[in-house]
Amino acid sequence: MRALILLLVASAVGASADCSCKYLKWAKCETQGQTCNCTVAVVNNTAHPIDCSTLISKCQAMKAEMFLLTRAAVRSLGKPTEHALTDEDGIYDPVCERNGNFNPKQCNNTNQCWCVNSAGVRRSDMGDLQLKCDAVETYWIRIDLYHRTMKTALNVTNIRTAIETLLQQYKLNTSLIEKVDYNKDRSLIVVDIKKPMGDRTVDLSRMAHYLEKDVKNLTLLTNPNPPVTVGGQPMSFERATVYYVDEKPPTFSMKKLTGGVIAVIVVVALAIIIGLLVLFLIRKRESKMAQVH
């Protein structure tokens, strides 16, 4: 009993000594009694409580980022020309559920709504406020990672080890890494991460979001992760493209999209041309598959 009390006191002291949010640098934390409570400012300028004991859900991280972006927009001079593009990945101010998940229907504070998957990526045509959306889980994520030139000779063996180390930094159980491929000529590493259909214990969108942000040098972490090394050389990445595959195909009305064997939804920097790119990527995929068979 005495040991237990000592332990409790020790953990309370530990919490108060380091009451900060390791997983979201924008969070504000306060010791309240024996707990360290963290919140983050969101668009309507209220403080949104978040759980900083693990990766923050993509929905909540996006909500926090959107607050900063809308605030920055007021201060900035805006677009230099009409055609200037911003790298916001079709970011919007999402509605998050109590557990941090994306609400399946999103409207970005407007009357135009769309359905999203568990990674918050649009999977339907635009609709009005009456739109009905089911919760659809992303169970498979493919990440195309382009690495910068390295002095160490890379091969699929040492790259797999590096990728496992990298993804462990984002709390991924490496048993979910289904495949790691390497294309030397293009400096391209392709990683497939897949969970069993129906699994709701792992949320793949969190690690993908943290990884994407880190590759863009826009880390969400308070203390950035050290780079992974291959043969003692740090490995860094030029860019990453993330593909989301859902348990159910998306419902875009274009025939081409629903006809595919696998429905692939792509998040790209240019959200405006998202439809065209999806088509392109599915074709590419089809030709790649044709080569395999």
Ligand X SMILES: *[C@@H]1O[C@H](CO)[C@@H](O)[C@H](O)[C@H]1NC(C)=O
Q: At what angle do helices 204-215 and 58-75 cross, to 10 degrees?
A: 40
151 vs 255, beta carbon nearer ligand X? 151
**182 burial class (0-12, 13-18, 19+ CB within 10 angstroms)?**
buried
Question: Could you tell me which of 139, 189, 183, 200 has the C-alpha nearest to residue 167?
Answer: 189
Name residue, tokens 């080890």: 161
CB closer to ligand X, 151 vs 293:
151
Q: Rank residues 230 and 245 by Cβ distance to ligand X and give the closer one.
A: 230
Nearest to ligand X of 152, 165 (CB atom)? 152
Rounded to a whole number of angstroms, the minimum distance from the CB of residue 13 to ligand X is 17
| Tokens encoding 13 | 């002291």
Q: Select 268 or 285, whichever has its Cβ closest to ligand X.
A: 268
> How far are the Cα atoms of 41, 263, 279 from residue 141, in angstroms, in the given order?
29, 12, 18
What stretch of H or E contains 114? strand 114-115
CB of 2 to ligand X, least distance (A): 25
In angstroms, what is the minimal distance from the CB of 293 to ligand X?
26
**At 160, which amino acid appears?**
R
Chain residues in the site for ligand X (CB under 6 A): 32, 35, 37, 42, 44, 46, 48, 90, 92, 108, 152-153, 155, 157-158, 173, 175, 217, 231
Question: Looking at beta carbons only, is 91 or 260 nearer to ligand X?
Answer: 91
> Closest approach of Cβ 153 to ligand X, in Å?
6
Query: Quick one: tokens of 255?
Result: 């025939």
Q: How far is the CB of 289 from ligand X (least distance, A)?
A: 26
User: Which residue blocks in the chain are alpha helix, DSSP H?
Assistant: 2-17, 58-75, 156-169, 204-215, 255-259, 274-292
Q: Please compute, for residue 172, the number of CA atoms within 13 A of its CA located in the half-sphere on the CB side.
A: 27
Min dist. Cβ of residue 35 to ligand X (A): 4
β pairing state of 138-147 and 188-194: antiparallel
Q: C-beta of 42: minimal distance to ligand X in Å? A: 5
How far, in Å, CA of 261 to CA of 251, rounded? 14
C-alpha of 5 from chain center:
40
Instruction: State the minimum distance, in angstroms, from the CB of residue 207 to ligand X.
Output: 13
Phi-psi region of 89 (alpha: psi -120 to 50; beta: other; left: phi over 0): left
Please, are residues 228 and 165 in contact by the beta-carbon 8 Å criterion? yes
Complex with ligand X: residue 153 or 290, whichever CB lies closer: 153
Q: Cβ closer to ligand X: 161 or 251?
A: 161
